Structure 1
Amino acid sequence: MSSKQKAIMAVNHPNNPNIGNRSIILVGMMGVGKSSIGRRLADRLHLPFVDADDEIEAAADMKISEIFEKFGEDYFRDGERRVIARLLEGEPKVIATGGGAFINEETREVIRDKALSIWLDADIDILVQRVSRRNHRPLLRGKDPRKVLKELGEARNPIYAQAELHVRSDSSPHARTVELIMKELTK
């Protein structure tokens, strides 16, 4: 079966009647679980999964932290915007974005035009616990994660709220969040 045929089957799958031929984009703060939840959601919807950060690293042939260090955040955000626009071309898929992707107006516009956006939201305590497990996030290097996440949340949450759907993630397994998303998609 060709990838085109698989995409058509996925779009017409009974589990996702409300997404049509659009991709699903997961947006939200770092640590909310966009990649982990995205993989599970893609399996559930019979769609491919793509992590935008992985695609950015592949395109640049360097880690995101290296891009930030070498070229700065503005350069990274421009590349991120281009990669997300490319990912939205073609067959529907589930895409996990970096925490700052949806903040960029041009990126948000492309997402609005070509995808269904879902804001995954979680309490600050959950985010702090999750981001503290690994030390690879450039915006947290050498800083207090709670303070950074609180400041980012204050600035970003009103923008994330522009997503088409809003789903809360909590400390329960990610499968529960996928169930909540599925309920929203089938309303």
Structure 2
Amino acid sequence: MKGKRNIFLVGPMGAGKTTIGKQLAEILKLEFVDSDHELEERTGAPIDWIFDIEGEDGFRQREEVVLEELTQRQGIVLATGGGAIVSDKSRNFLAARGVVVYLETSIEQQLERTRRDKRRPLIQNDNPRETLEALMKEREPLYLEIADLTVATNISSVKSVAKEIVELMEQPIA
């Protein structure tokens, strides 16, 4: 894994991809990029608005284009959106162009970390737990399919998770 120069963080909403990604980039002296933020910058519109106007399919098409470009950069830590792995093309870009780290977390942690966030369109409903459980059932196999490393984020601090990723990346490939 030492040869790969990019680190791509995947996982469900609330797993800590952005927060851990910033810490990881700081430790490794790499550029941090958030694909959702990048998409919002390029479109001039917030993600929830894009979902409202274009639906999830329209959003995923835009996300695919952004990920195709971002994954071609070198020396970045990239936090992806929770659903970035839904697209076959996006999964292929991620798997082929860097070390993919699946940040695993529980539904409880997701609920805790997202409960005040009104900008997550998929959980703006009467039963966010049910939605998160359905998303996890659909997406976890996709996260695992492309993950080079899986790191739990439930109980550890941001700094300790980032350090664990660095340590795992330094180990020789078995």
Which secondary structure does the structure 1 equivalent of 2:39 belong to?
helix
Aligned to 1:135: 118
- One-letter amino acid of the structure 2 residue matched with residue 44 of structure 1: I
Structure 2 residue identity aligned to 1:27? V
1:78 alignment partner in structure 2: 61
2:85 maps to which residue? 102
Change (3 A) 1:102 1:19: farther
Q: Tell me, in whole angstroms, the C-alpha distance in 2 between the residues paired with 1:38 and 1:122.
A: 15
Q: Tell me the equivalent position of 2:138.
A: 155
Matching residue within 112, 115, 134 for 2:95: 112
Q: Does the CA-based 8 Å contact 2:64-2:89 persist in structure 1?
A: yes
Larger radius of gyration: 1
1:177 aligned residue (140, 161, 172) = 161
Shift of 1:21: 4.4
Structure 2 unaligned residues grouped into runs of 5+: none
Local SS of the residue matching 2:119 = coil
TM-superposed deviation, 1:171: 3.3
1:59 deviates by 1.0
Distance 1:21 1:103 in 2: 23
Aligned residues: 170
TM-score (norm 1): 0.87
Q: C-alpha deviations, 1:146-186, integer Å up to 9, x for none?
A: 11111111111111111111111113321121122112111
Q: Given residue 25 of structure 1, which amino acid in structure 2 is its aligned partner? A: F
CA distance in 1: counterparts of 2:116 and 2:168, whole angstroms: 30
Percent identity over paired residues: 35
- Contact kept? 1:31, 1:130, Cα under 8 Å: yes
Runs (4 or more) in structure 1 with deviation over 4 Å come to: none
Q: Which amino acid aligns with 1:79?
A: R
RMSD of aligned alpha carbons: 1.2
Q: What is the TM-score when the length of structure 2 is the normalising length? A: 0.93
- The separation in 2 between residues aligned to 1:71 and 1:157, in whole angstroms, is 25
Ranges in structure 1 where 5+ consecutive residues have no aligned partner: 1-17
The 2-side partners of 1:30 and 1:143 are apart by: 17
